[in-house]
């Protein structure tokens, strides 16, 4: 738009003021951002680190080999192992794991390293723990009396305690034992051949 004599533009003053104000606003925003970054960056980088660590652990687990014959320590190393895989169960089911008997409260040890994927209850298993181990195999510990101090996404090493022997779920009232199952690509496989047998 063209300026003319009837419409002069003595606007230097407002322009100058608004520039000052906008500079001040920018400075304030910058200071605020610096303040926020200063407060948040350490925790952001910590979160990033643990996220990256967790992803790296997951990837390295998946790269590792699936359990082979006689390669896994028993969840209850002092107890006798019996191959109870495939036995008949109620409602036409078959036994998708093995039962290892031990006194109530005996600590149950993880058979592999891995990432805890479940600590909770279901109808059949009662109190159960699931750990995703090498090759992505799921290691399932059921009928627990209680859990160890673990939570989903925790890392565990072989031999770490995951829970304690009990009779929860559909084992209620039966001799206390851990039901140990291994799932590969979603299908149950017999853990018995994969477990090292105690010297006898």
Shortest reach from residue 163's CB to Zn ion, in Å: 15
> DSSP strand E in the chain: where?
98-101, 107-109, 114-122, 126-132, 138-147, 155-156, 161-165, 177-184, 187-189
Residue 170 CB contacts under 8 Å (≥ 6 apart), including other chains: 90, 123, 124, 125, 126
Closer residue to Zn ion in complex, CB, 148/171: 171
Residues that bind Zn ion (CB under 5 A): 99, 179
Closer residue to Zn ion in complex, CB, 19/93: 93
Is the Cβ–Cβ distance between 131 and 117 less than 8 Å? yes
Torsion angles phi and psi, residue 26, rounded to 5: -60, -40
Alpha carbon distance, N-terminus to C-terminus of the chain: 101
Closer residue to Zn ion in complex, CB, 127/179: 179
Q: What is the dihedral of CA 167, 173, 174, 180, to 10 degrees?
A: -20
Shortest reach from residue 99's CB to Zn ion, in Å: 4
Closer residue to Zn ion in complex, CB, 99/160: 99
Shortest reach from residue 180's CB to Zn ion, in Å: 8
Closer residue to Zn ion in complex, CB, 86/135: 86
Nearest Cα to 58, choosing from 112, 111, 114, 117? 114
Shortest reach from residue 73's CB to Zn ion, in Å: 19
């Amino acid at each position: 738009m063209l300026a003319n004599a009837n419409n002069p533009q003595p606007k230097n003053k407002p322009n100058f003021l608004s520039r000052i104000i906008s500079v001040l606003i920018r400075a304030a925003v910058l200071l605020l951002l610096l303040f926020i970054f200063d407060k948040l960056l350490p925790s952001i980088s910590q979160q990033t680190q643990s996220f990256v660590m967790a992803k790296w652990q997951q990837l390295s687990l998946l790269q590792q080999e699936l359990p082979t014959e006689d390669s896994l320590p028993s969840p209850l190393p002092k107890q006798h192992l019996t191959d109870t895989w495939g036995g008949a169960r109620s409602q036409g089911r078959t036994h998708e794991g093995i039962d290892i008997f031990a006194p109530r409260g005996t600590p149950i040890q993880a058979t592999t390293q891995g990432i805890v994927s479940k600590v909770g209850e279901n109808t059949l298993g009662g109190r159960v723990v699931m750990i995703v181990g090498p090759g992505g195999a799921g290691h399932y510990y059921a009928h627990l009396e209680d859990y160890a101090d673990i939570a989903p996404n925790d890392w565990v090493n072989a031999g770490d305690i995951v829970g304690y022997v009990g009779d929860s779920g559909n084992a209620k009232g039966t001799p206390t034992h851990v039901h140990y199952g291994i799932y590969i690509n979603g299908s149950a496989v017999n853990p018995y051949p994969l477990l090292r047998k105690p010297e006898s």
